[in-house]
Amino acid sequence: MAKLQRIHGLGKGSRIRLTIETLTPGGDGVGHFEGVAIFVGRVAPGDIVDVDLFDVRKSFARGKVVTFHQRSADRIEPACPVFDRCGGCQWQHVSYEAQLEAKQTIVRQALRHIDDIDLQATLPAPQVLNYRNKAQFPVQRTGKGRLVAGYYEEGSHRIVDLNSCPVQPEPLDLVLREVKRLLIEYRVSAYSEDTHNGLIRHICARESDFNKDVLLTLVLNSTSKQEFGDDQIAEFRTIATTLMESIPSIKGVCLNFNPEKGNKIFGDETICIKGASEIEEVLRSLGSARPTRLREGIRFRLSSQSFFQVNTKQAANLFDEVYDQVDLLAKRFERPLKVIDVYAGVGTIAMWVADLAESVVAVEDQAPAVRDGLSAVALNKVNNITFEEGRAEQVLTRMAKEGAVFDVAIIDPPRKGASSQVLEALLKLQPTSIIYVSCNPQTLARDLKILQDGVLEDGEGKQVYTGYKTLRVKPIDLFPQTYHIESVATLERNADGAFRNLEEI
Q: Indicate the residue type of 464.
A: V
Q: Are 178 and 188 in contact (CB under 8 A)?
A: no
Distance in angstroms (rounded) separating the CA atoms of residues 182 and 240: 10
Q: What is the pLDDT of residue 466?
A: 82
Coil, strand or helix at 176: helix
Q: What is the pLDDT of residue 190?
A: 95
Q: What is the pLDDT of residue 505?
A: 33
CATH 2.40.50.1070 maps onto the chain at 134-276
**Strand segments (E) across 27-117:** 29-33, 36-40, 48-56, 60-70
> In the predicted model, what is the mean pLDDT of the chain?
93
CB atoms within 10 A of CB 28: 18
CATH 3.40.50.150 maps onto the chain at 111-126+309-502
Angle at 398 between CA 393 and CA 404, to 5 degrees: 115
Q: What is the pLDDT of residue 143?
A: 75
Out of 2.40.40.20, 3.50.50.60, 3.40.50.10860, 2.40.50.1070, select the CATH number for domain 134-276.
2.40.50.1070
Against a cut of 0.95, is the pTM above it? no
The arithmetic mean of pLDDT across residues 413-422, rounded, is 97
Distance in angstroms (rounded) separating the CA atoms of residues 436 and 446: 12
User: Is residue 480 scored above 50 in pLDDT?
Assistant: yes
Q: What is the pLDDT of residue 486?
A: 98
Q: What is the pLDDT of residue 327?
A: 97
Q: What is the pLDDT of residue 145?
A: 76
Q: What is the DSSP string of 165-223?
A: -TTS-HHHHHHHHHHHHHHHHTTPPBP-TTT---SEEEEEEEE-TTT--EEEEEEESSS
- Is 439 among the catalytic positions? yes
Q: What is the DSSP string of 73-88?
A: TTB---SSTTTTTBSS
Distance in angstroms (rounded) separating the CA atoms of residues 347 and 307: 10
Nearest Cα neighbor of 126 from 476, 475, 473, 474 is 476
In this structure, of 120-129, 145-154, 264-273, the range with the lowest mean pLDDT score is 145-154
CATH 2.40.50.140 maps onto the chain at 2-91
The domain made up of 111-126+309-502 has a fold known as Rossmann fold (3.40.50)
Angle at 127 between CA 126 and CA 128, to 5 degrees: 125
Q: Note the pLDDT tens digit of each residue in 363-411.
A: 999 999 999 999 999 999 999 999 999 999 999 999 999 999 999 999 9
User: Is residue 9 scored above 70 in pLDDT?
Assistant: no
Q: What is the pLDDT of residue 496?
A: 52
Which of 80, 204, 254, 439 is the catalytic position?
Answer: 439
Q: What is the pLDDT of residue 355?
A: 97
Give every CB contact of residue 153 below 8 A, 6+ residues apart in sequence. Answer: 85, 86, 87, 159, 160
Q: Note the pLDDT tens digit of each residue in 60-91.
A: 999 999 999 999 999 999 999 999 999 999 99
Out of 2.20.25.650, 3.30.450.20, 2.40.50.140, 3.30.479.10, select the CATH number for domain 2-91.
2.40.50.140
Coil, strand or helix at 164: coil
Q: What is the pLDDT of residue 458?
A: 63
